[in-house]
Chain A
Amino acid sequence: MHYESPVRQPLILGDKSYNQITEDVVRPIENAAPRSWWVVFSIALVMFLWGVGSLAYTVGTGIGVWGLNKTVGWAWDITNFVWWVGIGHAGTLISAVLLLFRQRWRMAINRSAEAMTIFSVIQAGLFPVFHMGRVWMAYWVLPIPNQFGSLWVNFNSPLLWDVFAISTYLTVSVVFWYVGLIPDFAMVRDRAVNPVQKHIYKVLSFGWGGKAKAWQRFEEVSLVLAGLATPLVLSVHTIVSMDFATSVIPGWHTTIFPPYFVAGAIFSGFAMVQTLLLIVRKVFKMEDYITIQHIEMMNIIIMVTGSIVGVAYITELFIAWYSGVEYEQYAFLNRATGPYWWAYWSMMTCNVFSPQFMWFKKLRTNLVFTFVISIVVNIGMWFERFVIIVTSLHRDYLPSSWSMFSPSFVDVGIFVGTIGFFFVLFLLYARTFPVIAQAELKTILKTSGEAQKKHHSDHGAHH
């Protein structure tokens, strides 16, 4: 019954037993943190605190402390918002879309990818909230009557769609993640010796006992959540892109935006998953679970989505010319050759050119090269958002109001702060949560474990 074609590479390397998987997954939780963890955590914490300071200054003084001006009213804040939301998309793609497609290689990476989703959507949410200026009025985006009478939120506005999309996405991702975590927390609870630790994991594991009926419901709930999360993740970046696409700004007013943004989101998200997992597998010695094959699969997705993004860039240029609208044509000419040419060509190099190296098997299975490309892609995707937002705004219909944008130290501080906050959360997660969905992984040990597969091919395919 546990048969898989010998053509398929094993997903779990070495001679593992169920118990060995438990031991390997729980090791980072039960052992003291390595010195390198403390070093990285301290750096992230300092960055985070700098961000907190910058946000406090913004709230205390007003968003005039940012580099925005009358012409460029959206810049780093929205760039960072879109960038972080986009990064989040890979987690849902791995856990939901790959579940629907029955891709078993997702099991070793879905837990961390979803953690990344949640932590990056938290970062994303900070930007629109603080861009409101008076953050204590942030609840005005909710559909409740305000004190001037029953004036409601505007359901025609893409910005309000965003509120609903992002909050649904964040909360649904959290429950999806947590439903999967409950059995794994129970495993940690049942092993814990330290009474404090045992109590904490008892609270977190909700009393899970692995009853047959509970597992039956667990699988059904996972499947339905995956089915709900798949259109949800596509809707989120579609709606984010509508913040731009429904406007009348040349360079924004394009129907290609939804698929183009979703492809870009998956592209940057997978790059961030690579960055994080290459470190996790090394530091926590998870090489047997997060194998070269996993890295290679993700590199192929990066290559495909990077190429889709490249096609989108070229389509945009073509349509700008073909439309015959001079404002549209100028917006794109200005992007490529105007004062922000360096941002445009950084974007083109990082996003379209660099993933093409992944056509070569030698390069896409090289860990150092993969790590470098994963960083390059995320820089490129940040530039993509910056190019779309700032170059479309800075030269508007009235040449007398043309201007440039330069970030203030507060803009930089908040951005760096969110990177710090993200890593603070991720590092805490990596030390206290089971970073691999061990219960799920155990279901494929007999079919996809290296020793088990070898046993099959040596003794025939029957059990």
Chain B
Amino acid sequence: MAHTTEPTTPVVRALYHDDDVLISAVKEIRAAGYKISEVYTPFPVHGLDKAMGLKETRIAMAAFMYGVLGLTVAVTLTWFMMISDWPQNIGGKPNLNWGMNMPAFVPILFELTVFFAAHLMVWTYLIINGLYPGADAQNPDPRTTDDYFMVELPAADGLVDVLKKSGAVEIAEA
């Protein structure tokens, strides 16, 4: 199975067959002092990020910033085109300055805010996760998109025993 990150140090991969066992295993492994490098799951397992000690994602904050950018673009666009560059009398709508004409621009301001926030957030999401069309599968074992859960961690003394005790159904060293 192809994978993008070829491990340089030997790793141990433990497969689990249940999400509850996985969560308790992750807690046990970390309590035993081993560092988990990655967990592959077929679906979002709730509480896994906390059990692994992952930091909270800041992508929602990024989306907010993108939304602000979209709003700024919309304000600039409507001001330049309707007020500054080529003002016209359209249905008698006041256009002496942008503020007077603004109520008619609300739909545009809203749509561009959403457009920028949604698209740029998804682009960010794809880039930081290393996802692009044709990329090699990131999961080392194809069963982890069906019903298996894999914990990947650097090989260490006594690790296999901890993994066995934690309920792993299969342990492979690579």
B-binding residues in A (CB < 8 A) = 1-2, 17-19, 22, 143, 150-158, 160-161, 164-165, 168, 171-172, 175-176, 179, 182-183, 186-187, 189-191, 202-221, 223-225, 228-229, 231-232, 235, 239, 242, 439-440, 442-443, 446, 463
Q: How far is the CB of A322 from chain B (nearest CB, A)?
A: 27
On chain B, the residues within 8 Å of A211 by CB distance are 38-40, 129, 138-139
- Contact in complex: A221, B121 (CB < 8 Å): yes
15 A–B contacts from the bound complex (CB under 8 Å) = A18-B147, A154-B90, A155-B81, A179-B122, A190-B139, A190-B146, A202-B134, A208-B137, A214-B131, A215-B49, A217-B128, A225-B118, A232-B111, A235-B107, A443-B44
Closest to B62 in A: A224
Closest to A26 in B: B146
On chain B, the residues within 8 Å of A161 by CB distance are 107-108, 111
Given known contacts A168-B114, A212-B49, A216-B54, is B86 in contact with A151 (CB within 8 Å)? yes
Closest to B70 in A: A168
Closest to B77 in A: A143
Q: How many A-B residue pairs have CB under 8 A?
A: 214
Q: How far is the CB of B143 from chain A (nearest CB, A)?
A: 7
- Contact in complex: B4, A207 (CB < 8 Å): yes
On chain B, the residues within 8 Å of A153 by CB distance are 81
On chain A, the residues within 8 Å of B48 by CB distance are 212, 215
- Contact in complex: A216, B49 (CB < 8 Å): yes
Contact of B90 among A156, A229, A239 (CB under 8 A): A156
Residue B156 interfacial (CB < 8 Å): no
Contact of A228 among B77, B114, B131 (CB under 8 A): B114
On chain A, the residues within 8 Å of B47 by CB distance are 1
Q: For the complex, count residues of B whose C-beta is within 8 A of A.
A: 68
- Contact in complex: B111, A165 (CB < 8 Å): yes
Q: Bound complex: CA of A19 vs CA of B105, how far in Å?
A: 51
- Contact in complex: B104, A171 (CB < 8 Å): no
Q: Bound complex: CA of A190 vs CA of B40, how far in Å?
A: 13
Interface residues of B in 1-36 (CB under 8 A from A): 3-4, 19-20
Q: How far is the CB of A434 from chain B (nearest CB, A)?
A: 11
Contact of A212 among B52, B60, B78, B121 (CB under 8 A): B52
- Contact in complex: B147, A209 (CB < 8 Å): no
On chain A, the residues within 8 Å of B77 by CB distance are 143, 155
Residue B59 interfacial (CB < 8 Å): yes
Closest to A213 in B: B54
- Contact in complex: B41, A215 (CB < 8 Å): yes
Q: Bound complex: CA of A439 vs CA of B107, how far in Å?
A: 35
- Contact in complex: B145, A143 (CB < 8 Å): no
On chain A, the residues within 8 Å of B131 by CB distance are 182, 206-208, 214
Q: Bound complex: CA of A463 vs CA of B121, how far in Å?
A: 38
Contact of B138 among A152, A168, A207 (CB under 8 A): A207
Q: Bound complex: CA of A151 vs CA of B88, how far in Å?
A: 10
Interface residues of B in 113-164 (CB under 8 A from A): 114-115, 117-119, 121-122, 125-126, 128-139, 142-147
- Contact in complex: A214, B115 (CB < 8 Å): no
- Contact in complex: B39, A220 (CB < 8 Å): no
Given contacts A150-B85, A221-B121, 15 further A-B contacts (CB under 8 A): A22-B147, A156-B90, A168-B114, A179-B125, A183-B42, A183-B145, A191-B142, A202-B134, A207-B135, A207-B138, A211-B139, A216-B56, A217-B128, A218-B44, A235-B111
